[in-house]
Structure 1
């Protein structure tokens, strides 16, 4: 039997061969007599099996998992530093976090990177807690939180020199020159974040039509807050300081750039 008369042959082979010329489509706006292949004229169609695209601004499950793991690592690092000080090892941090060292190294390459992230996380918590509440209340809350912070207390006893480094505020506009793994707080953008938060609070708190407070007022408040790293104050002293700071701001909303005669808190932090 010839191939042409074999139904099996027709089914397996001839059905794959084109029976006619490829479909052609007239392109809109082109010469009516001009035709192109339909495959060229038709826009690409979505593939059902393709990986779905994530909407802009949403977070993937992997991103959420990474954030949770990082938060757990910082909690573990906090516990490890409380127990061992800033000389804690990566193995101790991993053990306190309940993860393998490889997992820790996936997020932080060095111990200094962990410590820098831990300090930045403490500042982030303070900034978030102080948002959307009156300035005076925010300052009192931040000063009390800094003075009573468990990490601060542990370092004050075991490594007071580390607190001096933390309380040293870099000049305005300082950008980190070291690597992102540096634990040197003076090279960390957390102070710039604190400055931005104070600026926003001062601007929001000023009376309608009043001039914007100058940078000196912000620096005075920043150094006052940093001083509680070295010398916590009681509630009465903190309330007195806040009244003095805000009263001074109200009487002199625009700073001339000259030095202030003093710091409300008697143990002002080095700057």
Structure 2
């Protein structure tokens, strides 16, 4: 990803975390990124397109992070990341319908996400499907850190046994 695009997505993350998606504008995203609005429009046509690009970039980052760790540590880190992500927390609290729309994936996109998770965790696709659904649940309801981490350890044990 280019430096400009990365800066735009960083500005979007700060803006969306602070104001939500509905409360943000293309102008506020551009300002947070330190660029002119025209620069933002050179990369993205709509705020929703920015949000989807941010989500895709975060999925890439999390997949890379998980791939560097043993599966049990990867699940724990992924759980903490999705449970504590400032944009996801803001949307879950203030705009759950927007969050649900962003997270809903067509079957082929879901299969792609599950496949990436399977590679990162080094497990079979069926096991990755279970992990993906668990992580998706944490986006919506993160729970207590201690319980979430215990769940990650339990899930890692189940995946290892499969």
Short-chain TM bin: 0.7 to 0.9
1:232 paired to 2:151: no
Shift, 1:120, TM fit: 1.0
* SS class of match (2:10): helix
Corresponding residue for residue 159 of structure 1: 95
Which whole-Å CA distance do the structure 2 matches of 1:108 and 1:221 have between them? Answer: 32
Q: Residues 105 and 169 from structure 1, CA distance in 2 versus in 1: closer, same or farther, beyond 3 angstroms?
A: closer
Corresponding residue for residue 118 of structure 2: 199
* SS class of match (2:143): coil
The runs of 5 or more residues in structure 1 that have no matched partner are: 1-65, 175-188, 206-212, 254-271
Answer with 1 or 2: which has the greater Rg: 1
The runs of 5 or more residues in structure 2 that have no matched partner are: none
* SS class of match (1:228): helix
* SS class of match (1:229): helix
| Contact 1:163 1:229 (C-alpha < 8 Å) held by counterparts | no
Corresponding residue for residue 116 of structure 1: 52
Which whole-Å CA distance do the structure 2 matches of 1:167 and 1:110 have between them? Answer: 17
1:78 paired to 2:13: yes
Corresponding residue for residue 79 of structure 2: 143
Q: Residues 192 and 93 from structure 1, CA distance in 2 versus in 1: closer, same or farther, beyond 3 angstroms?
A: farther
Q: TM-score scaled to structure 2, two decimals? A: 0.86
* SS class of match (1:123): helix
Bigger fraction of residues in helix: 2
Corresponding residue for residue 241 of structure 1: 151
| Contact 1:167 1:230 (C-alpha < 8 Å) held by counterparts | no
Aligned residues: 161
Q: Residues 95 and 136 from structure 1, CA distance in 2 versus in 1: closer, same or farther, beyond 3 angstroms?
A: same
1:126 paired to 2:62: yes
Corresponding residue for residue 128 of structure 2: 218
| Contact 2:79 2:152 (C-alpha < 8 Å) held by counterparts | no
* SS class of match (2:140): coil
Shift, 1:230, TM fit: 0.8
Which whole-Å CA distance do the structure 1 matches of 2:126 and 2:137 have between them? Answer: 16
Which whole-Å CA distance do the structure 1 matches of 2:144 and 2:28 have between them? Answer: 34
| Contact 1:85 1:154 (C-alpha < 8 Å) held by counterparts | yes
Which whole-Å CA distance do the structure 2 matches of 1:238 and 1:138 have between them? Answer: 13
